[in-house]
Chains A and B, each alone.
Chain A
Amino acid sequence: MPVRLNVSSRRELLGRGMAAVGMAVAAPQVIAAAVLGKGGAVAPSNRICMGFVGLGSQGGGHLFGGAWTYLPGGYLGRNDVQVLGVCDVQRKRAEQGKARVEQHYAKKLGQGAYAGCGAYSDIRDMLLRDDIDAVLIAAAYHAAATNVILTVRAGKDVYCEKPTSVTIRAGRAIVEAVRAHGRIYQAGTQQRSEYDGRFRRAVELIRGGRIGQLKRVYAYQTGGGLTPPPSTARRGAAPPEVNWDAYVNCLPWFNYDGNTGAHRFGYGGINWGQHCYDIVQWGVGADDTGPVEIHLENGNPVFRYANGVEVFGCPPPGAVWDEGGGACFIGTEGKIAVGRSKLSSDPPEIVKETPGMGHTGVYYSTSHAGNFLECVRTRQRTISDEETAHRAASMLLLGGIAMRLGRTLKWDPDKEEFPDAPDANRLLSMAAREPWRY
């Protein structure tokens, strides 16, 4: 017999929900010094327990620190993080990671031995642990959407390296899953927080009108996409030290070929491009939308937003391709070029101004990892949240689709479909191989 919902229970839920939201806003967690551990350590109850997926150069750098990383000693060196699990499709690498984590904690605690970190070759096994709060994913990019959605469905917050998805539908699925499950998400688009704030400063100046009305942007990177390798019949077996099924993940099956690299199977700017388009979107103020048209010039995509601003998927005339994730913004009264090592303008006086922090409403973060962990604690939106990441990845992928089809495409950024190109719409998604669905 159908049961009608009691309206008061709806109000009760709404009331509690609103009260909780209010408390979260009004009363961020403040832990008295007295309840912290000895010697400045963070009390166990306030540590974020983390798992790490993918222990190659990127994931290993996040976990252990390294030349390119933004945290000396990596997440493992932080007092407010406890590493409970490491996962890699190369089982030996996972075991070595676990040993290194445990050696670190044994030394830190002044113990002869420490056992508290699990080693996994399948993310699903690691996600069964109730004690893990957040997961950092730096595995093969073709598996990013699957890994993220499995993670948020398991109730964990997630940090994911770029490219954050390889199809636009998968990116939207990530957004919906993160929101449906109330999780915190941050993309590994560190330029928003790191590099001495150059990118943020550029965005503040652009949004503050210092170059007049924005007209054109050069993104330095072309479009890109995924090209799965040729399919094969199942033949032979992968060596036991490799979890090949987890590596192939959602892609069409192909037999073991000895390579578990993170950046395979792509074309164009698939690996690096999201960094550039992320800054473009930030500067344009389009973090929750996208272009309305993509056409090609010299084989590279040119994106046009509804306000007429055009983004060229190439360096500015006379510049070189490799500018470290940068972008060049051209307005009616000047231009600003920003890269990881340089912020310049024409006229030069523009970048000598110091825009007031927060005056232009630009999200302020000086540590990408710190911002992620802070948002895990406070349940606030990160600087590179799920929608922001999805829209930046979409720019890259839209450019890739236009390049692949070789023609101009109209794009509806609200419906996220090509209104008059059914063949292009077929490239918005890719059927996932079971059981690695998203």
Chain B
Amino acid sequence: MKDEGETMKIRYYIAMFAVAFGAAANSVRGDSATAEDKLLEVLKSGATVGDKANACRGLKLAGTEKSIPALASLLADAELSHPARFALESMPIPAAGAALRDALGKATGLARCGIIDSLGQRRDPMAVPLIAPDLASKDLVLVAAAATALGKIGTFEAAALLTKAQAAAPCPALTKIDDGLLTCAERLRLAGKYDEALDVYVGLYAPDKSRLIRAGARRGAGRSSSTSSTSRAHCSSPPSARPAPPPRSWPITSTTSAPTC
């Protein structure tokens, strides 16, 4: 019986992937409707959670804009949220990002954390103001998800909102936010925003930060420094001739000292 069950499982597995592979091949030829429609039929039917989850996974490759409403309707579902994200997260379609952002209004718990993570993976700058309020949540898992996602998005606005959230954050949450800021600074640096990255690193090098965060900030600052405007000025000009740093559009240190963790 066990062998038979295994065989059935393998057949099913192969069938699901055949659908997905077929859809991928069809999409190259521009006639993906059939495979996508079959998968969408599963989602709209009374199929089991497992079948629906596998259909979502098939849509990772086969899905077009047509699939997004059906996938979006699953994002707040505790069991099907992840399979829906499995398809949506990697879709190079703006509507997929919009569906994930819209779902933040409905989803809770781990489903919400997952949606936030997908928005972070997509580096969706429009999601920044929607995610930032979760930095003040009492749910530490949610705070971590929000801080990580904002760090990955890595924009000035994300850095500013993370910095702002530091001031009011209790100790365990502050650690997560600092971690997100460290990621954010790295993303800014990789995007060539050396001065902005350096500002974040300086804030994270404060004496009340953890040894880990300070170590990361010090290394990051070293990497950012060779090309930052401050470093250039420091190296090439006498003190009196050094230019003032360019004005920032967002605060880089908090006026309120953060609690020590």
Contact = CB atoms under 8 A, between A and B. Distances in A.
A253 B78 CA distance: 12
Contact of A10 (B9, B185, B202, B216): B202
Contacts of B218: 13, 16-17, 20, 182
B251 A3 contact: yes
Contacts of A181: 182, 212, 215-216
B199 interface: yes
Nearest to A433: B82
Contact of A429 (B90, B248, B252): B90
A13 B211 contact: no
Interface in B54-88: 54, 57, 60-61, 79, 82-83, 85-86, 88
Contacts of B110: 434-435
Given A13-B205, A231-B83, A429-B89, A423 B221 contact: no
Interface residues of A, number: 54
Given A253-B82, A406-B25, A423-B61, A435 B141 contact: yes
Nearest to B12: A230
Given A3-B252, A230-B16, A182 B92 contact: no
Chain B, interface residues (CB within 8 Å), range: 35 or more
A23 interface: no
B186 interface: yes
A153 B151 CA distance: 13
B185 A155 contact: no
Contacts of B9: 230
Given A17-B221, A431-B82, A426 B61 contact: yes
B145 interface: yes
A437 to B, nearest CB: 5
A427 B61 contact: yes
Contacts, number: 176
A93 B125 CA distance: 45
B108 interface: no
Contacts of B245: 4-5, 7, 10
Interface string A417-432: 0000011011111111
Interface in A1-57: 1-5, 7, 9-11, 13-14, 16-18, 20-21
Interface string B220-235: 1111010000110010
B202 A177 contact: no
A426 B96 CA distance: 13
A435 B9 CA distance: 27
B253 A434 contact: no
B183 interface: yes
A423 B24 contact: yes
B114 interface: yes
B83 A234 contact: no
Contact of A434 (B88, B114, B215): B114
Interface in B226-261: 230-231, 234, 242, 244-245, 247-248, 250-255
B103 interface: no
Contacts of A233: 48-50, 53, 79
A17 B225 contact: yes
A9 B202 CA distance: 8
Nearest to B205: A13
Contacts of A434: 82, 110-111, 113-114, 117, 145
B198 interface: yes
Given A4-B245, A422-B92, A430-B86, 7 more contacts: A2-B248, A4-B252, A17-B219, A169-B121, A253-B53, A423-B61, A427-B90
Interface of A: 1-5, 7, 9-11, 13-14, 16-18, 20-21, 153-155, 169, 176-177, 179-182, 227-234, 252-253, 404-407, 422-423, 425-435, 437
21 contacts: A2-B251, A5-B252, A10-B221, A10-B245, A13-B217, A17-B225, A153-B179, A155-B212, A169-B121, A176-B183, A182-B215, A182-B219, A230-B50, A231-B50, A233-B53, A252-B57, A252-B82, A253-B79, A405-B24, A427-B61, A434-B82
Interface of B: 9, 12-13, 16-17, 21, 24-25, 27-28, 48-50, 53-54, 57, 60-61, 79, 82-83, 85-86, 88-92, 110-111, 113-114, 117-118, 121, 141, 145, 148, 179, 182-183, 185-187, 190, 198-199, 201-203, 205, 210-212, 215-223, 225, 230-231, 234, 242, 244-245, 247-248, 250-255
